[in-house]
Structure 1
Amino acid sequence: MMQDTPKILDNPIILGLESSCDETAAALVRRCDDGGVEVLAERIASQDDKHAAFGGVVPEIAARAHVERMDGLIKEVMEEARLDWKDLSGVAATSGPGLIGGVLVGLMTGKAISLAHDLPFMGINHLEGHALSPRLTGQVEFPYLLLLVSGGHCQFLMVKGVGDYERLGSTIDDAPGEAFDKTAKIMALGFPGGPAVERWAKQGNAEAIDLPRPLLNRKDTLDMSFAGLKTAVRRAVELEPVNDKRKADICASFQLAVADILSTRTRQAMDIFRERINAERPHFVVAGGVAANQTLRFRLEADAKEAGFAFASPPMRWCTDNAAMIALAGLERYLLGQFDPLDVSARARWPLDGKAAVNSPASGSGRKGAKA
């Protein structure tokens, strides 16, 4: 079902909805006269308390929580921004990748609003939301080098424009965020695992535990691996009784290993980017939930400065899953006239670089599509 092509307004207001994992979120963004973006209102409902007992996200629980909260969050942002439906220019909702039950909640809600109020609809790739998120606070010009690092993803991309992404390297197995969560779960540090590991690491000795840096002996690739590191952490925990000091040392050593892997591959990616893009001071962007880790963030910022790259990363509240980045991606696509029909499907897997995913998938494929 395709809506009539709408007139594109100069200062559109877009409603964004996010429900791909365990954060239910709604936000309103507006394009300003100077070309910048204003976040008019946003809400994020965390589900940490619902999943804490399980040490990870339970898809069925997450989907039910999205159903319970989405309508209320939309009402709250509309009231805070003092807007009516007639004031909106379009609706954007995450349509993948993610936990399919959760994705469907936000996607169907967005479609319903679009249909009921005759608004253009944009089905957004969740990863594109992260990729564009630094543009919420300033005009980071295309092209730029992106490290997208989160609970489910870790990849280097050349961001050439909206919808134009080239993968340079990726994890071939687990993502760093998953490794952080599993490290926390093994030692019962609490949920969510990433912030817990970071807190414990501050008290530990990062040189205490000898952990591997998988694939770093290979200089011909930007691919990464974190599964072996995760296994090494488990072995370190099982090797001897784990008191608070050893927990802190394991966390600090693990965090340093992740930082070393990302830092080494980042410097290689910057060299490749420089060879292909002629720019005096190109941007290096770090986005995704793991970008909220201060140790990793400072290390990568130092790498960028040394290599002559301008460093950019969204504020902490926009590193983890949020609806402002989805609304922004919708705004960018709205201005380009890139609208979606209302029969667009939810997708559990949706690589940003579809060509690379087909020709050289980083971790194989499956009946639902490329895994990475």
Structure 2
Amino acid sequence: MSEHTGAEAPFYILAIETSCDETSAAIVENGSEVLASVISSQIETHKAFGGVVPEVASRKHVEVITVIVEEALRQAGLKPEQLDAVAVTQGPGLVGALLVGVVAAKSLALAWNKPLIGTHHIAGHIYANRLVAELKYPCLSLVVSGGHTELVSLEAEGEFRIIGRTRDDAVGEAYDKVARALGFPYPGGPHVDKLARESAEAAPLPRVWLEPESYDFSFSGLKSAVLNLVNQSRMKGLEPDAGAIARGFQESVVEVLVGKAIRAVRETGAQQLLLCGGVAANRGLRSALAERCSAEGIELIVPPPVYCTDNAAMIGAAAYVKWRRDGGTALDMVADAGLSLEEWSAGRH
């Protein structure tokens, strides 16, 4: 274990994130202070394809990973020998993209003789909240991203229990598919959010609550209802009312997300509600959740947008928690596209 393990001594983690289409490196001190954060986005590259192309994403990571790490060290004003550990997203994500980060992190850990910390991508999103506030346990996290929609209960630091998840599309996927139907380019979520906030009308669309006690989500039926509205309009020779459809869709999504999250906070006794993931940057969701939490007397923590989308600073925050609980990860660690959050937190990875 590093010499910097005292309660007040700084513990510097170089973190690497390459799970999808952002190449990112960050240096985080004691899991909460970001000394450097560098993000190279591939959005413009993938926009031409209407979504992320895994092989292209992997090649882009290879092209920039070295310079991204060097820039993070430069911004932080640190040399490799001053680091205490190297952390990397082990999973979930696109396996080819994950491999680039994992191989880079292993190489650096070996070359610099530093511990390696394999880190869970969703744990990173959750602990992005620790970059802006101290967490109080038990707490509850609403994870909303392109690939994940989950309610995660944290009984103690680093202990995750998924109490609800999507049964089909993640909310970010649903936003992108609706955006595509309305003629917006990838990524479509911000376009739908903006249009929804500007529209005076809302198309009537269903709310999918599932079983009365369930914390699970389902968005495929809502997505299909939107597609039906669009197709019906076009079959009549009319242009769909994109604003009304966007607002109706967003209101349906937000009402279900907020309703289930608030109920889960009450029933689990959580002291805080944490919002995280790429869709946490959605202004409609942020404002609705803030308004409801204020009315209910619930403490809400939301990271700034830069820490909602994929970034390495969040990986450094989660890695610090993992280090304190379990120490480092063996160098024979493998990238795992389907890595389980609960098994990872229990040390079974």
With the length of structure 1 as denominator, give the TM-score of the two structures. 0.87
Cα distance between partner residues in 2 of 1:285 and 1:97:
20
CA deviations 1:195-217 (Å, max 9, x no partner) are 1111222222452x221112x26
* Matched position secondary structure for 2:51: coil
CA deviations 1:77-129 (Å, max 9, x no partner) are 11122211101110000010000000011111001000001001100000000
RMSD of the alignment, in Å? 1.8
Query: Which has the higher mean CA deviation after the structures are superposed, 154-163 or 109-118?
Result: 154-163
The residue that corresponds to 1:331 in the other structure is 320
Specify which of 286, 293, 299 is matched with residue 288 of structure 2: 299
Query: Which has the higher mean CA deviation after the structures are superposed, 56-65 or 136-145?
Result: 136-145
The residue that corresponds to 2:114 in the other structure is 119
**Contact persistence 2:87–2:116 (CA under 8 A):** yes
The residue that corresponds to 2:81 in the other structure is 86
Change (3 A) 1:206 1:154: farther
Cα distance between partner residues in 2 of 1:101 and 1:222:
32
Shift of 1:291: 0.6
Cα distance between partner residues in 2 of 1:142 and 1:128:
15
Specify which of 331, 352, 367 is matched with residue 341 of structure 2: 352
2:55 is the alignment partner of 1:66? no
Cα distance between partner residues in 1 of 2:193 and 2:333:
39
AA aligned to 1:183 is V
Gaps of 5+ in 1: 356-372
Alignment of 1:1-372 (within 5 A): 5-9=1-5, 10-31=9-30, 37-207=32-202, 209-214=203-208, 216=209, 218-241=211-234, 246-274=241-269, 282-354=271-343
Change (3 A) 1:313 1:198: same
Aligned length: 339
* Matched position secondary structure for 2:198: coil
AA aligned to 2:227 is R
Change (3 A) 1:243 1:140: farther
**Contact persistence 1:183–1:233 (CA under 8 A):** yes
AA aligned to 1:17 is I
**Contact persistence 1:8–1:334 (CA under 8 A):** no
Cα distance between partner residues in 1 of 2:340 and 2:324:
23
Cα distance between partner residues in 1 of 2:29 and 2:263:
37
AA aligned to 2:336 is R
With the length of structure 2 as denominator, give the TM-score of the two structures. 0.92
AA aligned to 1:130 is H
The residue that corresponds to 1:368 in the other structure is none
Change (3 A) 1:69 1:183: same
The residue that corresponds to 2:347 in the other structure is none
Change (3 A) 1:217 1:24: closer
